[in-house]
């Protein structure tokens, strides 16, 4: 049986409310153009209507048999844990699982997906179409997806900039995989500026970004914040910043936070939890872990 048709595609959140239980985890309010959700032990039979976002399912919990009916065909595939299924926006399916019912979804707005694709493959906007696939295996996408879930689950000690970096890396890897599998079609479009020029970040912009980082180390800095200071897209900013400094934005921010923490530890007697907050860490535990990883010493050991 096919999933019932709807007058217009639904949002990911509306679809989620139709499942037999709430998600174990949801990235609500983290990204404007993407959403991660994780379910466990819901009904094995799911009617998925057409959605207004592309989405990728990561099948979790162990090996299982998936039957997917819709778009004029029915497929049955035995999948292992970590396998991926790809669904373009507008496609409706009936899903049936025989085996452990556990899965995570990442929903991506078509506009966000096309924007990253245009920047990666040097095409204009609207130059891509996406095809579906059931049960693809890719170790790097699996690792990025699982790391996003782990970071979201520990959101009290997480980092927005780290999550942004993970999402961006996931989208780039997904685009490359789709192109390799010939599931991503590109069309001719207006020529773009040369890649080297679009990725370059001027010394003046770099100074502004570093100044912004230094002034906001206590805050949860997002990749979009840094890109806005540089007046660049997040994709081009990330590449340009890494080329100019030799360090990705997330790693650079961590380095500056650790440097500030060293100064505060050496110059005063403030408690560890206060220094952690002043340096932009979400908890004293996260600060201690990151500081020891960077220096080989605990904060108290460094101070003494």
Span 112-136, average pLDDT: 77
Higher local confidence (pLDDT), 219 or 116: 219
Residue 5's pLDDT band (cuts 50, 70, 90): very low
Residue 250 confidence (pLDDT): 93
pLDDT-derived band at 180 (thresholds 50, 70, 90) equals confident
Give me the pLDDT at residue 158, please.
53
Going along the chain from its start, the domains and CATH numbers come out as 12-186 (2.60.120.10), 195-303 (1.10.10.60)
> 266 versus 199: which is more confidently predicted?
266
pLDDT level of residue 123 (50, 70, 90 thresholds): low
pLDDT per residue as tens digits for the range 213-243: 999 999 999 999 999 999 998 888 998 999 9
Q: Please enumerate, as own/partner, the contacts of 109-116 that have beta carbons within 8 Å and a separation of 24 or more.
A: 109/33, 109/34, 109/52, 109/53, 109/54, 110/52, 110/53, 110/54, 111/33, 112/33, 112/34, 112/171, 113/54, 113/171, 113/175, 115/233, 115/235, 116/168, 116/171, 116/172, 116/175, 116/235
pLDDT at 3: 44
| % pLDDT > 70, the chain | 89
Predicted structure pTM score: 0.84
């Amino acid at each position: 049986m096919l999933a019932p048709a709807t007058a217009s595609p639904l949002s990911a959140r509306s679809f989620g409310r139709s499942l037999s239980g709430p998600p174990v985890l949801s990235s609500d309010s983290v990204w404007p153009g993407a959403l991660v959700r994780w379910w466990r032990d819901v009904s094995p039979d799911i009617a998925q209507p057409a959605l207004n976002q592309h989405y990728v399912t990561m099948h979790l919990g162990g090996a299982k048999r998936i039957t997917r009916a819709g778009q004029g065909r029915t497929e049955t595939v035995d999948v292992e844990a970590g396998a991926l299924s790809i669904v373009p926006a507008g496609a409706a399916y009936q899903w049936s699982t025989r085996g452990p019912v556990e899965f995570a979804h990442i929903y991506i707005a078509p506009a966000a997906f096309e924007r990253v694709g245009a920047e990666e493959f040097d095409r204009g906007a609207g130059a891509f179409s996406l095809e579906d696939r059931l049960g693809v295996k890719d170790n790097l996408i699996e690792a990025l997806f699982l790391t996003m879930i782990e970071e979201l689950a520990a959101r009290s000690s997480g980092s927005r900039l780290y999550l942004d970096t993970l999402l961006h890396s996931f989208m780039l890897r997904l685009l490359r995989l789709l192109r390799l599998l010939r599931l991503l079609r590109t069309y001719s479009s207006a020529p773009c500026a040369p890649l080297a020029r679009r990725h370059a970040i001027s010394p003046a912009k770099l100074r502004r970004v570093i100044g912004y980082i230094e002034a906001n180390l206590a805050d949860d800095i997002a990749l979009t914040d840094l890109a806005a200071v540089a007046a660049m897209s997040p994709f081009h900013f990330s590449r340009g910043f890494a080329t100019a400094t030799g360090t990705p934005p997330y790693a650079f921010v961590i380095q500056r936070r650790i440097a500030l923490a060293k100064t505060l530890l050496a110059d005063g007697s403030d408690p560890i939890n206060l220094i952690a907050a002043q340096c932009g860490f979400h908890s004293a535990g996260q600060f201690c872990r990151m500081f020891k990883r960077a220096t080989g010493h605990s904060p108290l050991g460094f101070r003494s």
